[in-house]
Structure formats: structure tokens, C-alpha cells
Amino acid sequence: MRATAVKPTRIKDTLVDRCFMIAVYVLLTAGMIVVLVPLVHIVASSFSSPAAVSSGHVLLWPVDFSLRGYEAVLSNPQILTGYGNSLFYTVAGTLISTTLTIAIAYPLSRRGFRGRNVIMTLVLITMLFSGGLIPTYLVVQQLGLLDTRWALLLPNAIAVWQVIIARTYFRSAIPDELAEAAELDGSSDLRFLWSVVLPLSKPMIAVIALMYAIGQWNAYFDALIYLKDSSLQPLQLVLRNILILNNPAATTDVALQADRKQLSDLLKYSLIVVASVPVLVIYPFVARHFTKGVLIGAIKG
């Protein structure tokens, strides 16, 4: 006897459901356009001629294709030095911050750790109150960190929000029974953390590492306060100085002044693209873990 395939029944969408989905798609499309159009305009302007950018003729496609902006950016030795410094601060800062965050979040997630609620309360208080800029500067000065790379790595090494994310993940995704089983097998706390907890926490680690990396790459205020040596300054501070110091009014030659004004307008777009490339390159490799980590925290937290 030949079995007949049973067609799955499909629930028919109501008029309200269809209108809702249409509204969702319209809002998402509008949001995509609002985000995408400025980005396309910046990229198109960076590949246009200085005259076209200064006159405002560039919209969504390069006008009078030119690489003069990138040539001016990459020929500046300060930018190359700042690029190297930012890469170092981003990599080293992310490693330090992620390690310290896990080190404080994991013990606070274990129910057998006495005083964890008191410590977590003290950590949360720092989100509401801080010493302020001058006391922080005095602490950095007394520690001898001024004009050193450590000034950008240690003062803001731990972010409370990342500690909350890691603690919530450990508490919800790593059951106490798993730790008890490892303890019965003779595993130490450090061995359990290294061999069991960290491999199971890759999505969460990717989330906090990406947050720290983006924060380190875009940071410039701490460098502005703590660093005077130009060889230690990150890319963002170097770009800020170039845009501020590139003043066309510094010369009396009208033709040269106009040319510098056009180049200054072009540099803004080229610098934005150059400063955004590393984040855009790294994000696709961690996007899968980032999305998974956020969803796990949203469901179980």
C-alpha cells in the first residue's frame, strides 16, 4: 500500500498580521537607508576630487575619481605611527580588559563565593559615582603612568557593564552541578575555568572583547589628557590634531589657501574611512559569536 505524503497545513495570516509585517519591513528599510546613505556618501566623497567635495557635488557616487585624499593621509608619518599605536592599544587593551573582566565576573557568579553580593554592589556603585577627572589624573600621575602606554591600558581596564554581562552569562550557562562534578574528579578551580568554562563561553567572550576593542580603537580623550609624547598618541588623537591644525587661513596666498581648504574638506572623509577600516574588517569574524552571545544573554539572563 503506497503511503501518501501529508501536506503540512499553513496557518493563513490575518489582515492585521500582514499589515504588521508590512510596517516592520517599511521601518527596517527606512532605518537601513538612514544608516547606509551617510556611509555611502562618506566613501564616495573620499574617492572624489578636492574641488568636487568642496563644491558639494558628491552625493552617492565619486565625482572626478581621485586618490589624493588617501595619498595625503598615508604619506603622513604621524598617521602611520598613530595607526600602529592604536593597533597596540586595541590588542593589548582588549586582552587585559577581557582577562580582568573574566577574573572578577566568574567568582561573582558562583553561589559558593561568600560576600559576592557585597562586592557586586560596590562594583555597581562605580556606575553611578566616580572620582572625576582631576582625582583620576592625580592617581595616574602618582602611579607614574603619565606619558606611558599604561595610561591608556590600566585606568579603564574594567567596564562594569561588561562585568554584568559576563557574570550573568556564567551564572546562567555554567551550572553549579558542572563545577561540583569537576571538583569530584579532582579538578582545581583554575583548571575548571580554563578547560571547561572558557571553551563554553566563547560567545560571551566575543561580545565583551568586541566591546572593549571598539572602545579602545575609538578612544582619544584619555590620550589627550595623559599623553604629550606624539610617538605614543593613538590614531584618533592624531586625526583630531590634523583636522584642527590644518587651517587654510594660515597662509596669505589665495590660490594656496583655496587648495588647502579643498584638501581639508577631502581629508575629513578620507580620515573617517581610514579610521573605520579595522573595525569593519574584524567585525565579520566575530559577528556570529556576537549575535549568539547577545541572544543567550537575552533568553537566559
The CATH number of residue 264's host domain is 1.10.3720.10
Amino acid at position 36, single letter:
L
CA contacts within 13 A on the Cβ side of 218: 10
Instruction: Please give the pLDDT value at position 10.
Output: 63
Please give the Cα distance from 11 to 47 (Å, whole number): 51
Residue 61 lies in a domain: no
Q: Which domain holds residue 185?
A: 68-300
Residues in Cβ contact with 90 at an 8 Å cutoff, skipping those fewer than 6 apart? 213, 216, 217, 278
CA distance 233 to 74: 17
**In this structure, which long-range contacts are made by residues 263-268, counting pairs with CB atoms below 8 Å and at least 24 apart in sequence?**
263/50, 263/68, 263/69, 263/72, 265/50, 265/53, 265/54, 266/45, 266/46, 266/48, 266/49, 266/50, 266/53, 266/54, 266/68, 266/69, 266/72, 267/69, 267/72, 267/73, 267/242, 267/243, 268/243
Radius of gyration of the chain (CA): 26
d(CA 205, CA 226): 29
Task: Give residue 230's pLDDT.
Answer: 81
Q: Are residues 109 and 198 in the same domain?
A: yes
In a domain, 40, yes or no: yes
Residue that is written with C-alpha cell 573574566 in the block: 102
Q: Are residues 118 and 46 in the same domain?
A: no
pLDDT for the residue numbered 237: 84
Distance CA 260, CA 248 (A): 5
- Using 50 as the pLDDT threshold, list the residues of the chain that sit under it: 1, 248-257, 297, 299-301
* DSSP class of 152: G
Given a contact cutoff of 8 angstroms between Cβ atoms, the answer to whether 296 and 204 are in contact is: yes
- Domain identity same for 164 and 252: yes
If one counts the domains in the chain, the total is: 2
Per-residue pLDDT, 249: 44
Q: What is the pTM of this model?
A: 0.75
Residue 6 lies in a domain: no
